[in-house]
């Protein structure tokens, strides 16, 4: 069921307040945390109703859906920044320059090379975050590293990504294993901060200041542990119809 615009605004205000409270509880500035409203599988009417003073970044998982939404929205689409937060298929890299300004889910070197080539042809650059597979889950994408003994091969790959001419690395992204207890995510978010420090030491010329972590389920814990982007859908738009 699609929520009405008034309820969505109330939900947004509630989420923003929860982000602020979580930040203050950890001694952080709430203004440092950016909200990504996850609009995957949401109709364009919902996006049109979003108040731009409360949300300016939309997170989408699928290239085809995003393309259709932006076409239907017309000039309204330019009111928002569009961030890719889902796994990208190789054959769809050619569409990214016209759809997205930011990618949270860069998960492998081969995709990075293809994206850099595509953006070179458009004479532009793509801001990216490197996705880490924190628990080495086979169903999830991303690089897996051991904090105690980081793989030199993977660090070499990341070095290649950093030096691709049309990508700008800004930090890291993760999706912890699902649990019914948000506190279970905390150890993964703490590990992300440690990886952030590790990469900053290994690659001192690269900016790793951004951490994209936390969803509707655990974003308050993520904010307490250093998230600068939180990706929130259900807490704003309600449960999605999984049959859509």
Contact 85, 38 (CB under 8 A): yes
Q: Is the pLDDT of residue 121 over 80?
A: yes
Q: Is the pLDDT of residue 119 over 60?
A: yes
**Of 54 and 241, which is predicted with more confidence?**
54
Count Cβ atoms below 10 Å from residue 239 Cβ, excluding itself.
10
Lowest mean pLDDT among 35-39, 136-140, 193-197: 136-140
CA–CA separation, 34 and 128 (whole Å): 15
Residue 241: the pLDDT is 62
Distances (CA, A) of 38 to 63, 198, 216: 14, 29, 10
pLDDT tens readout for residues 219-237 = 999 999 999 999 999 999 9
pLDDT range class, residue 139, cuts 50, 70, 90: confident
pLDDT tens readout for residues 56-97 = 999 999 999 999 999 999 999 999 999 999 999 999 999 999
pLDDT range class, residue 244, cuts 50, 70, 90: very low
Task: Scan for tokens 């948000």, then name that residue.
Answer: 182
Residue 242: the pLDDT is 52
pLDDT tens readout for residues 13-40 = 999 999 999 999 999 999 999 999 999 9
pLDDT range class, residue 134, cuts 50, 70, 90: confident
pLDDT range class, residue 147, cuts 50, 70, 90: confident
Mean predicted lDDT score pLDDT of the chain: 95
Beta strand segments in 10-164, E: 34-38, 57-60, 81-84, 102-106, 126-132
* Residue 221 phi, psi (nearest 5): -65, -40
Task: Scan for tokens 């949401």, then name that residue.
Answer: 42
CA–CA separation, 148 and 156 (whole Å): 17
pLDDT range class, residue 192, cuts 50, 70, 90: very high
pLDDT, average across residues 157-180: 96
């Amino acid at each position: 069921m699609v929520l009405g615009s008034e309820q969505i605004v109330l939900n947004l205000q509630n989420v923003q307040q929860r982000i602020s409270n979580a930040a203050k509880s950890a001694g952080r500035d709430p203004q440092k945390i950016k909200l990504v409203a996850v609009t995957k599988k949401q109709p364009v009417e919902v996006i049109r109703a979003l108040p731009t003073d409360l949300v300016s970044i939309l997170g989408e998982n699928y290239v085809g859906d995003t393309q259709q939404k932006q076409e239907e929205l017309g000039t309204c689409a330019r009111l928002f920044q569009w961030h890719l937060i889902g796994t990208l298929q190789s054959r769809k890299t050619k569409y990214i320059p016209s759809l997205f300004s930011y990618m949270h889910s860069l998960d492998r070197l081969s995709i990075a090379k293809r994206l850099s080539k595509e953006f070179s042809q458009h004479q532009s650059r793509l801001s990216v975050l490197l996705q880490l597979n924190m628990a080495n889950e086979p169903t999830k994408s991303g690089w897996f590293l051991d904090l105690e003994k980081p793989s030199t091969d993977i660090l070499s790959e990341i070095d290649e990504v950093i030096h691709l001419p049309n990508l700008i690395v800004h930090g890291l992204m993760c999706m912890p294993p699902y649990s019914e207890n948000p506190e279970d995510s905390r150890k993964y978010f703490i590990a992300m901060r440690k990886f952030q420090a590790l990469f900053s030491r290994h690659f001192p010329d690269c900016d790793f200041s951004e951490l994209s972590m936390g969803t509707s389920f655990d974003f308050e814990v993520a904010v307490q542990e250093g998230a600068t982007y939180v990706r929130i859908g259900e807490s704003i738009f309600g449960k999605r119809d999984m049959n859509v």
